[in-house]
Amino acid sequence: MTPAARLAAAIEVLSELSTGHQPADAAVSAYLRSRRYIGAKDRAAITSAIYAAVRRRARLDWWLSRAAFDRRDARAQILASLVLADGLDPAAVNALFSEAPYAPPPLDAEERRLVDALSGQPLAHPEMPPAVAGECPGWAHAELAALFGSGTDAELTALLGEASLDLRVNTLRYDREQAGAMLAERGIACEPTPLSPIGLRVSGRQPLSRDPLYRGGAIEIQDEGSQIVALLADAKPGQQVADFCAGAGGKSLAMAAAMGGKGRVVACDVQQRRLARAKDRLRRAGVDNVEPRLLSSERDRWVSRQKGKFDRVLIDAPCSGTGVWRRNPDARWREIDLPDLLETQDRLLASASRLVKPGGRLIYATCSLLPSENERRVEAFLTGAAGFHPMDAAGVWAAAMGTDLPASAAEGPYLRLTPARHGTDGFFAAVLERAGDDHG
């Protein structure tokens, strides 16, 4: 494909994103899957152009407004990105938009005026509001600024970067050193993750889905932060464990491996599609102590029947996803009903806590950085729930893993991981213990 044809493809996918409800990764995958004739280099270039525009959306729109350009469509954003971020001059831009086969149509008079107005300007401008400069929606910026203070810019900048490719080694099959050596033999360079004792960080992008270790369930793609949350549950062999919002089962698999395949993990979710994916992963990993359980809601009758039976209950709650904006850069611009999410989180805590046996632990986690979804939800739960108290997350980790968490990851009794401080996705976790004499 010519550079112009790649550009036309990027504009087409961005246009679909603006009118549809698919996440960017799904839209890009669907587009490329239906055009298998597109080569690997072209696919990479198209994908890069799409994600570059998505990651710059607020700043590009700010410049479009400043240039008094009314349209906010994919073509306008690509034009602005070419000039402001890639530094193309008007002649170079005009050459890409032409009557040539498969090229995007030539610029009209208003587009030429826009290109001239933006030419020579930087993408970042000192007059940009902080939320625009940080590509952060207004509903989240105030809360993040209050949380991080002088470190806000660094955190928002880190959220604009690309996420690392982390693997969790299935310790039922191999240890980390063995898996790393086997990957290295096939030219896949990786190094141990700094915090998770079962993680590997891969250098660059690799076609892991075709690797024998992946196909055989010996490795799973899982961010280091997600691994840490699963390990913080400190699930032990022989215990009864509930993963209350299991999704596709990543943390269920991690806990099952930590238990040495002994005991029972119930992977609960309200979506059959997610549990079907979990079943495939369980089969591939050779895990037979995980039981998928479809729930009608968080108050399914099964919860009442299982009251007080579990040593560990993990709630990886639905949330705004502010901590995973690196992986899902378009998610920051989706409409979020935050009050509804907070109510859902409260309901999950209230219902799932019933499963915890006396002396057992409830682990509440999100991939959000917002205190309103994290410590405030925990504090609200503790206000109304008798018999639970927070454990020191750093102490739990040290006792379970024999290593220390970075001091920056411990905020009071809670765990908070961020891309800027720890190189992981943003995660929050609280470990709450039920008193041993509570039979309520």
For the chain, the domains span 3-128, 165-221, 224-434
- 335 half-sphere exposure, CB direction, 13 A CA radius: 5
pLDDT at 20: 64
At the fourth CATH level, which superfamily is domain 165-221? Sun protein; domain 3 (3.30.70.1170)
DSSP assigned state of 440: -
pLDDT value at position 404? 92
What does pTM read for this prediction? 0.92
The whole-angstrom separation of Cα 199 and Cα 191 is 9
Q: Which pLDDT belongs to residue 384?
A: 86
Say what the pLDDT of residue 439 is.
41
What is the predicted pLDDT for the residue at 130? 95
pLDDT at position 440: 38
For the chain, which ranges sit under pLDDT 50? 438-440
Beta bridge partners of residue 167, listed in sequence order: 200, 221
CB 320 within 8 A of CB 370: yes
Residues 159-178 have pLDDT tens digits of 999 899 999 999 999 999 99
pLDDT at position 411 is 86
Provide the pLDDT for residue 437.
61
One fold for both 165-221 and 224-434? no
Residue numbers annotated as active site: 367
Cα torsion through 30, 36, 37, 43, rounded to 10: 60
* Angle, CA 205 vertex, CA 10 and CA 196 arms, to 5°: 130
Place domain 224-434 in its CATH homologous superfamily: Vaccinia Virus protein VP39 (3.40.50.150)
